[in-house]
Amino acid sequence: MIYCGIDWAEKTHDVALVDDSGQLQAKRHVTDDLAGYTILLDLLAEFGDSEDAPIPVAIETSRGLLVAVLRTGKRQVFAINPLAAARYRDRHSVSRKKSDPGDALVLANILRTDMHAHRPLPDDSDLARAIAVLARAQQDATWNRQQLSNQLRSLLREYYPAALEAFATWTNGLCRPEARELLKLAPTPAKAARLTRAQITAALKRSGRQRGIEAETERLRAALRVVSARQLPLVENALGKQMLALLGQLEAACTAADDLAKAVEEAFPQHPDAEVILSFPGLGVQLGARVLAEIGDDHTRFADARGLKAYAGSSPITRASGKKCSITRRRVKNDRLNHAGYLWAFAALTASPGAKLHYRRRRDERGDWHASALRNLFNRMVGQLYRCLQQGHRYDEALAFPTSPEALESTAA
């Protein structure tokens, strides 16, 4: 049996092959291009790599062209956490020495001794991988949009608080197209005070607003004309130019988030697991796509529901030593799935009577804080999702949260 370890880098990669006894059989230094990939595949084939008996590969990343090339066929690729690889390095040397060829050898030996303790990359379908790309990109764009919105809000507080007051009644505030159009039209309080009704109305229409334009025009005109403390004129104009530059970035982030959301809406419903995922309360197209992106559609990836719960970070972790024992939340987890789970559990409170009752019990009877109760609800629902995906069944409220009619009535009240 031959095992391969690859120390990944931006331009070049170090490759090491070891046998069952741990003897180094070959090592190479390959470039990160087609020629380097060809040398790597030829080296693997030289030592017996074939479609029927592929050589397992350990590498410290799960993305990139190199990983895509290695995943062709039935070859198992193990993405080893760099922190875990560092711990394995200390098993072979106490001098704390480190080198790229040495790291490749360590990765190969990880598979030789502990391959059973590591999970290979899932064998997801092409559609699931495409959905993962779109869902993660949309999530990143949403986070970037919120970050830019917070920066813009902080800047407006320094010289233009009237704008924040005017947009406070709108959901998503500064991210709305009406707010962006008005800020482009009046980047400073001085220009906002000179806006006419016709200009405000035209800006609202350009943003796509169709109802309540006259009433909104009067409200905005009055809010933007409120007398407040002002910066010096030159400073105010400079801050206005800074705001317009930040507004341009926010405009691009909003467009990117909207475009990616449309792409997710087109791709996700085509997946066979979408029907099961969307049947769960609190999961829509965008949030459901994020869940699918992180768990994949390889139903053999997790041996049981406990593995998925640990991966999502919803199940607690126990630390015991002697007479001391503590139960805390997991810190090493899939952060994207954990974030989606928090939103999922929160949305399920209004979509599922059983979920709301479970949450209230954790809060009232167990004394959990809000985040802890939501995490416990997510832990339960992710286990139900695992079983439904394994069996191909839709969500059933009566089976998920069996409760008495009296309890449901008290929860609704």
The better pLDDT of the pair 156, 405 is held by 156
Tens-digit pLDDT profile for residues 217-249:
999 999 999 888 889 999 999 999 999 999 999
8 Å CB contact between 177 and 205: no
Q: How would DSSP label each residue in 189-212?
A: HHHHHT--HHHHHHHHHHTT--SS
Stretch 58-79: mean pLDDT = 90
Phi-psi region of 322 (alpha: psi -120 to 50; beta: other; left: phi over 0): left
| pLDDT(406) > 70 | no
Q: Residue 27 — φ and ψ, nearest 5°? A: -145, 145
Tens-digit pLDDT profile for residues 127-154:
999 999 999 999 999 999 999 999 999 9
Cα–Cα distance measured from residue 276 to residue 391, given in angstroms and rounded to the nearest whole number? 10
Alpha helices in 93-232 (DSSP H): 100-114, 126-159, 161-167, 177-185, 189-193, 197-206, 213-224
| pLDDT(343) > 80 | yes
- For residue 289 the two structure tokens come to 């796509």
Cα–Cα distance measured from residue 290 to residue 134, given in angstroms and rounded to the nearest whole number? 9
Q: What is the pTM of this model?
A: 0.86
Among residues 71, 48, 46, the alpha carbon closest in space to that of 61 is found at 71
Query: pLDDT grade, residue 361 (50/70/90)?
Result: very high
Stretch 185-192: mean pLDDT = 93
| pLDDT(64) > 50 | yes
Return the pLDDT at 91.
77
Query: Three-state DSSP class for 289?
Result: helix
Tens-digit pLDDT profile for residues 24-59:
999 999 999 999 999 999 999 999 988 889 999 999
8 Å CB contact between 355 and 282: yes
Among residues 153, 154, 197, the alpha carbon closest in space to that of 179 is found at 153
Return the pLDDT at 405.
55
Stretch 283-297: mean pLDDT = 95
Return the pLDDT at 127.
95
Query: Three-state DSSP class for 4?
Result: strand
Among residues 47, 44, 38, the alpha carbon closest in space to that of 66 is found at 38
8 Å CB contact between 261 and 287: no
Name the percent of the chain lying above pLDDT 70.
97
Q: What is the DSSP letter of 176?
A: S
Among residues 332, 407, 330, the alpha carbon closest in space to that of 376 is found at 330
8 Å CB contact between 404 and 412: no
**Who's near 70: CB < 8 A, 6+ residues apart?**
57, 59, 77
The better pLDDT of the pair 263, 72 is held by 263
Tens-digit pLDDT profile for residues 200-218:
999 999 999 888 999 999 9
Greatest Cα-to-Cα distance within the chain, rounded to the nearest angstrom: 83
Secondary element (H or E) of residue 5: strand 3-7
**Who's near 180: CB < 8 A, 6+ residues apart?**
174, 207, 247, 250, 251, 254
